[in-house]
Amino acid sequence: MDVVTGSVQNYAWGSTTVIADFLGVEPDGRPQAELWFGAHPMAPSRVGPVSLPALIEADPTRVVGADSVARFGPRLPYLLKVLAAAQPLSLQAHPTRAGAEIGFAREEAAGIDRAAPHRLYRDDWPKPEMLVALDDVEALCGFREPGRTYDLFARLGVPAALELVAPLRSGRSEELAAVFARMLGLDQGERAVVAQVVAAASALVESDGSSDEPALIRFARTAVELDTYHPGDPGVLAGLLMNRLSFGRFEGLYLPARNLHAYLSGTGVEIMANSDNVMRGGLTPKHIDVAELVSVLDFTPGVPDLVEVVAEGPGIWRYETPAPEFAMWRVDLLPGADGPITLPGWGSGRMVLVVEGSVQVSDGASTLALQRGAVAYGYPDETLKVTGSGIVMVAAPGVPVTSPDE
């Protein structure tokens, strides 16, 4: 067992205080969007004094586990993050495994530098992801039923916008792709419609005294909020085609390949396959490729369910997702609870992140005292037991759970 040192990503949408507060340090004045724990080449963590990728390269089976190496190769298949959004993130989606392999091969053959801003497929992996909220999270996720979207636009009463969404009136989901691409493809001369929609939405939000139409007000608020950070961006209109979700502490949202999403605000623990393949359509200064985004998206409308959380033992909760690359549990140590809890994930290299309180994690030979924000790395052959008072999240490769023969 070793202590993991993560690295902060200073993306512009990050909160300037939340991650510093989580770690119990003074803010440095810059936005801190994400804190990464993993072996991704863009920001590899240190485990003890050594970089995690170097440690894995030297002996992948000892560090990540035999089952994981057999299934995913000599690498850490997951990436763990703490995410703190003060502003909306870009409208984005991630490819399937097959799509990533094809896209990566194509861009390699074309000789596009892997670090180039316009490079879309930086590796040949999918990037399913899950966010477990630490406070209230607001997100846009997937497409609303098209007929319902048409009705909401109709209530805004902006003729140019209604013309854009006219094909949705039929309620046919086949029309969503064309409307979405048309919105994101508006040229400079056509973009006045964004300001018109935002003005109408803003008037609706302000006139809301005792509205009996909360869905309409949420729709209008979304337009106003997106435009605050990205004024005039056609992504404001595209965002209005999407479901808006709110979820709370320790609820999880799973985003499969091909799902369109954008977190709006909130803090959470995120786990994903160890990939950096992102197709963006708007609401960002980063590279946008609408055609590629449209080609990967699933336009099937519907509101996604939150992740099912299953009790696996006293204080142990498993977040059930279909992602093969990762597994995640929450372990609650209530004050006065009896005895240590044995952490799940034996047989794999797992990370134990303290999200509340302070705990002691023991591997039988040594014990680490960990405060909120700290991460311990447990090696596959170690049985980890935790005591104290707090809550930890455990991340591991998505392999069948085994037990030590003891």
What size, in residues, is the chain? 406
The burial of 293, by beta-carbon neighbours within 10 Å (0-12 exposed, 13-18 middle, 19 or more buried), is given as buried
User: What is the C-alpha to C-alpha distance for residues 335 and 321, in angstroms, rounded to an integer?
Assistant: 29
* Summary count for the chain: helices (H), strands (E): 12, 21
Place of tokens 């405060």: 371
- Residue 280 falls in the annotated catalytic set: yes
User: What is the C-alpha to C-alpha distance for residues 391 and 389, in angstroms, rounded to an integer?
Assistant: 7
Helix axes 214-229, 192-206, angle to 10 degrees: 130
Q: How far is CA 243 from CA 48, 142, 146, 204, 219, in A?
A: 43, 6, 11, 19, 9
Q: Is 261 annotated as a binding residue?
A: yes
Please name which of 374, 367, 365 lies closest in space to residue 392, comparing C-alpha atoms. 374
Other CB atoms within 10 A of residue 188 CB: 7
CA atoms within 13 A on the CB side of 68: 30
Question: DSSP code of 190?
Answer: G
Spatial CB neighbours of 294, under 8 Å, sequence gap ≥ 6: 177, 180, 181
Q: Is 129 annotated as a binding residue?
A: yes
Other CB atoms within 10 A of residue 153 CB: 24
Q: Which residues of 348-360 are buried (b: 16+ CB within 10 A; e: fewer)?
A: bbbbbbbbebebe
User: What is the C-alpha to C-alpha distance for residues 80 and 377, in angstroms, rounded to an integer?
Assistant: 12
User: What is the C-alpha to C-alpha distance for residues 349 and 61, in angstroms, rounded to an integer?
Assistant: 9
Query: Residues 396, 345: contact at Cβ < 8 Å?
Result: yes
Per annotation, catalytic residue among 75, 122, 244, 280: 280
Q: How far is CA 229 from the centre of its chain?
A: 20
Q: Is 34 annotated as a binding residue?
A: no
Query: Residues 135, 239: contact at Cβ < 8 Å?
Result: no
Q: Is 92 annotated as a binding residue?
A: yes
Binding-site positions for Zn(2+) read 92, 94, 129, 261
Binding-site positions read 92, 94, 129, 261
Name the residues annotated as catalytic: 280
